Structure 1
């Protein structure tokens, strides 16, 4: 059932920049409706003439059209009208489809924008299957199966109401019986169709399917090494079968509508023949009735079929409305502006506390002063809050209390991006993007913008030139999915080069050399120490390795939620 509230919710899901375009979108659809109705009316006298060559019309214009001496011109005019009508319809359809896919693209864009600009806790709480579903499947299904279905329901309903009205005016008894038969058939069809369960199934099955596929891709080595291929394949195949079974059910609904309508048509034709043979004596009126019914079946049946399909689609994909509205509300919380910020003296962590749950505090009232050009070491047992503190400094997580201050300026959402532009960060397990080695270093830059001298100097300093020699295309070599063509140590080297490429003023290393051999680790740490001394690079270094921590000016250790200087 299409309610006013439902229509408002659907329109609210459409991005603002496209909401104004909905008026011409629906307007073109109504234009199509008018052309379709005119085509039925225009076709009617020619059908009557075909059934009875002696047919006469009270309207002098219609009579003029079907006169023998004018017939050839009338037929040509009919052909021209239908060509023009369908050409305009194609243009309307082209505009509508371009708008539909633009709406889908914009919804995806807005969701990914809100996702990437949110904090790390938001990311941690997201299901990867949901992220992919909300980026690809939800926008596409909303645009194609909700917005387009709403348009179809509104337009085809007008056609059906107008044709039914004309029928009731000309042939009230027969039309009324036909309407009753159609309504009865629809009631039976919708009673036995279990569309309600499809909505939940589509949403959950797609998410599960994506998650199982990601497990197969990302867990390739673990699955192979444990000889558990079949176990993971069974999970994916079972989920995939369930999803495809749901799609098969929906496709069956769409394709079977014409069969149900065919049964209804046979019932109506049978009744019509019975009525004409037994109760009607006016031949001219019979010709009009048969011509009208032929015109009706020519247009009404496709309209009814579209209406049923649109109703089923709208009901099945109703979950996309809730998803988009929910994601839109998330985006409103993450709007940021930009101000400039500089680093001349010191970075301070002031009275920072954080906990993932109310019961267990992870960081308690931590304060730390980091002078520009210093190398600060942070150590502690696993799970004591070292990486979480880095995430708070990077504003990936907001502390429960406390603040981050740079040269007397508190880091807030207004200057966060400017602050992050000063930082190079290497995680424990650096992510390597799909693409070339060069694209992984100079992220987002065109080849004309890339500083190749800087890259060449860094590859030599970090010891990455030996890695490049093993790739025939050098910097242009592809890294493979998630950097699968590189070893763990090579990934860390590449990530360090990436972090240093933009000349950061603060370098954060979170166990960033733990997969390197001792010789390479010493080479990299010596280089970073030298840059720190010469260029006043500030380094925040997290490590369990006491040898690595010897490169630090001061060392701080986490013990029972408190950070102590060693």
Structure 2
């Protein structure tokens, strides 16, 4: 259990830790008022059961002298009103304590989900490719929520419940040591029995639930992504059944957890009720007066009213923490991969003369063969370069190395004859325009897609229109009812693939890149449109272009053409200049 506390504590910054101290202080105040509220019932019951105390008890006599209240009725009303006000104020403190903890938890959920999204956006490209997006979506939207509800909130409730329990326990010890120890022993035996019976089961259920939830996210996203293929092939039943089976298993898992979580509260209630009955029988059969017995039983009954919810919170919190431990450990591993996204540690790099790759070696993992080994080539600034080759020879990998997305195992990259580290270098990447084979669009207007990531009030609309004309997109947009404000549907399904590629090229050019990387970026365009777009780029933009393409039509525009060829020796692809 302690290791889970340390994990969640490790996810907090200094501000969080200070706020946690405030919550702890609030819980202590809440515990004190719980005790005061319980203690206030004792004089009230005593006066009702033994009216003669108002004339013999020194504290009641002192109260009468201080307040000036002399009548029995006045004392009863005063003690009853005081007890009511203390209980009322205690409940207000309890609600405030819960609100402070809840507010802290949800603010932490916001912070952690934002941090996790940032981690994913800054993560290593190869590591990013090894994990499914459905799992990332689940981690951000569902797992963070589970960690807050099942771990952080549970821990805060456990701390608060423990403080209240300790204070009430100390109070009851001062009232009747023997009876309190008997009740405590009974509750501890019940707790340890429940712990031994449920601990491993809850842990296994939590791991199973996390896996099932991941499967469900994946299955839903896959089904929606393949909607067209599913509809045409009439295979919707397969995907619905797969989803239904996973969801049914998750429901069954959750029902088992809920069943187990119902046990402790019921057991503790039975133990507490049985203990109070035993105390009542003990007093009734002992030599103590009936009035004294009534007072003690009333005291324990009211203590149980405040104690049972606190003890129940402790048990419920324990179960939630056990159930959510698998997800907590998984997210802790994700946050351990957090990297700084600052650019202070990277040199400022700008291509003015030439970009050289010298003796580059790269493979995707230790078990795979080399993609490149001893690869060397040169790209001149402000020229149009074309890289060709068969599928799988490493053309896209070459662009990813140049873009700083992949890190070579060996070799050097030189910008203007200066060796530099381009891998994850934000100063270098901010100068690039990159158009991948599949252009990804957001569900927003064409303008917002071209000026991706730029605040709406700073978008240069004239610049967008100029670029749209150069990539042959303007006329099509003007034929639409909403023009440049036309909104893309999910993944651009209401635009053709060619139009989507034009948007991708326009997006890259809008950034005023120094180096433009094009990866099969015109393969959906007809030859005439492709020619027009490439000629406009060469004529209107002063930049270096590296264009990966299968199409011979692209080569005619190039100042330099490289052909990548796979070798049979396991030494990766070799380069030939054409």
**Same fold (TM > 0.5):** yes
Deviations 1:223-275 (A, max 9, x none): 22332211112222222222233333333444554433332244224423433
Q: How does 1:520-559 map to 2 (within 5 A)?
A: 520-531=529-540, 535-559=541-565
Q: How does 1:241-260 map to 2 (within 5 A)?
A: 241-260=248-267
Q: How far is the alpha carbon of 1:492 from its aligned partner? A: 0.6
Q: How far is the alpha carbon of 1:333 from its aligned partner? A: 7.3
Which of the numbers 93, 101, 112 marks the counterpart of 2:98? 93
The residue aligned with 2:453 is 444
The residue aligned with 2:360 is 352
Q: Is the 8 A contact 2:441 2:449 kept in 1?
A: yes
Task: Identify the range of structure 1 (384-393 vs 270-279) with the bigger mean alpha-carbon deviation.
Answer: 270-279
The residue aligned with 1:494 is 503
Q: 1:20 to 1:158 in 2, by over 3 A?
A: closer
Q: How does 1:330-345 map to 2 (within 5 A)?
A: 330-332=337-339, 336-337=343-344, 339-345=347-353
Question: What secondary structure, in the 3-state scheme, does the structure 1 residue paired with 2:320 have?
Answer: helix
Q: Is the 8 A contact 1:29 1:151 kept in 2?
A: no
Q: 1:170 to 1:542 in 2, by over 3 A?
A: same
Task: Identify the range of structure 1 (189-198 vs 411-420) with the bigger mean alpha-carbon deviation.
Answer: 411-420
Q: 1:410 to 1:117 in 2, by over 3 A?
A: farther
The residue aligned with 2:187 is 182
- Counterpart Cα distance in 2 of 1:44 and 1:437: 73
Task: Identify the range of structure 1 (356-365 vs 188-197) with the bigger mean alpha-carbon deviation.
Answer: 188-197
Question: What secondary structure, in the 3-state scheme, does the structure 1 residue paired with 2:336 have?
Answer: helix
- Counterpart Cα distance in 2 of 1:36 and 1:503: 66
The residue aligned with 1:142 is 147
- Counterpart Cα distance in 2 of 1:351 and 1:253: 62
- Counterpart Cα distance in 2 of 1:333 and 1:400: 22
Q: Is the 8 A contact 2:451 2:510 kept in 1?
A: yes
Question: What secondary structure, in the 3-state scheme, does the structure 2 residue paired with 1:508 have?
Answer: strand
- Cα RMSD, aligned residues only: 2.6
Q: 1:125 to 1:333 in 2, by over 3 A?
A: farther
Question: What secondary structure, in the 3-state scheme, does the structure 2 residue paired with 1:330 have?
Answer: coil
Q: Is the 8 A contact 2:40 2:86 kept in 1?
A: no
Q: Is the 8 A contact 2:441 2:491 kept in 1?
A: yes
Q: How does 1:231-310 map to 2 (within 5 A)?
A: 231-310=238-317
Q: How far is the alpha carbon of 1:372 from its aligned partner? A: 1.5
- Counterpart Cα distance in 2 of 1:94 and 1:18: 16
Q: 1:69 to 1:437 in 2, by over 3 A?
A: same
Deviations 1:155-194 (A, max 9, x none): 3223323333443443344333322332333344334432
Q: 1:81 to 1:455 in 2, by over 3 A?
A: same
| TM-score, scaled relative to structure 2 | 0.90
- Counterpart Cα distance in 1 of 2:62 and 2:309: 30
Q: How does 1:56-67 map to 2 (within 5 A)?
A: 58=57, 60-61=59-60, 64=63, 67=72
Structure 1 residues without counterparts, runs of 5 or longer: none
Question: What secondary structure, in the 3-state scheme, does the structure 1 residue paired with 2:348 have?
Answer: coil
| TM-score, scaled relative to structure 1 | 0.92
Q: Is the 8 A contact 1:433 1:481 kept in 2?
A: yes
- Counterpart Cα distance in 2 of 1:448 and 1:291: 68
Q: Does 1:565 align with 2:577?
A: yes
The residue aligned with 2:107 is 102
Which of the numbers 448, 469, 472 marks the counterpart of 1:463? 472
Question: What secondary structure, in the 3-state scheme, does the structure 1 residue paired with 2:387 have?
Answer: strand
- Counterpart Cα distance in 1 of 2:337 and 2:381: 37
The residue aligned with 1:206 is 213
Deviations 1:337-374 (A, max 9, x none): 35533232222222211112445111122222211121
Deviations 1:92-130 (A, max 9, x none): 333222211222222222222222112211111223233
Task: Identify the range of structure 1 (97-106 vs 448-457) with the bigger mean alpha-carbon deviation.
Answer: 97-106
Q: Is the 8 A contact 2:203 2:325 kept in 1?
A: no
Q: 1:386 to 1:53 in 2, by over 3 A?
A: farther
Q: Is the 8 A contact 1:52 1:287 kept in 2?
A: no
Question: What secondary structure, in the 3-state scheme, does the structure 2 residue paired with 1:317 have?
Answer: helix
Q: 1:268 to 1:350 in 2, by over 3 A?
A: same
Task: Identify the range of structure 1 (383-392 vs 328-337) with the bigger mean alpha-carbon deviation.
Answer: 328-337
The residue aligned with 1:383 is 392
Q: Does 1:151 align with 2:156?
A: yes
Q: Is the 8 A contact 1:212 1:236 kept in 2?
A: yes
Q: 1:62 to 1:165 in 2, by over 3 A?
A: farther
Deviations 1:59-113 (A, max 9, x none): 5158737953244344444444344333333333332222112222222222222
Question: What secondary structure, in the 3-state scheme, does the structure 2 residue paired with 1:331 have?
Answer: coil
Q: Is the 8 A contact 2:155 2:317 kept in 1?
A: yes
Deviations 1:491-519 (A, max 9, x none): 11111111111221211110111112233
The residue aligned with 2:570 is none
